[in-house]
Amino acid sequence: HNDTLPSRCTSSGSAIHAMTLAQVAKVRCADLSGNKVVPVATFADLVAAVKGHDIGVTLDIKSYSGQSDSGKRSYAARTVQLLIANGMLAQTTILSFDWSVTLPSIRALAPTTPVLALDKTPSLARARLADPGLRRIGRLMAASVLKSLVPGATLRWTRAG
């Protein structure tokens, strides 16, 4: 969730997207007792742990402050390439907070791969940018949340222009 490594890790404050794989391999984060001994897992570690097993993977594609749209498209393309190359596309759901570039790029590259569009300030109108199928899910979720907050409430949906 951060552009920089948190204080619970060595190299705290470093921009992880600017680090080399060799530099990331040296980072250690705190375990439950507070000792900084846990390495940052790589994609290769993920593949080794789940490939060949009936395990679903949810992969969060991050972007960083100031990242260009072409950089986001490149991250999306590289993600799909790695998943295909490792035979993991079918068992993966991809999520991101970037509705404008990353998720539409994933959708274009891997149209049958499930995507989850995250937002700090949800808007059903924005769901159409990432995946038209998300609008119905968003409505169901919004209705469920509203009903839990206001028993007996109903929602009236209008078509956005």
Mean per-residue pLDDT, 115-125: 66
Query: For residue 158, is pLDDT > 60?
Result: no
Q: Show Cβ contacts of residue 124 under 8 Å, excluding neighbours closer than 6 positions.
A: 135, 138, 139, 142, 160
Record the pTM. Answer: 0.66
Chain segment 11-68, per-residue pLDDT in tens: 888 888 888 999 999 999 998 898 999 998 888 888 888 888 888 888 888 888 889 9
Contact indicator for 80, 41 with CB cutoff of 8 Å: no
Task: Give the Cβ contact number of residue 44 at 10 Å.
Answer: 11
Query: For residue 126, is pLDDT > 60?
Result: no
Query: For residue 98, is pLDDT > 60?
Result: yes
Alpha helices in the chain (DSSP H): 21-26, 43-50, 69-85, 102-109, 124-130, 134-149
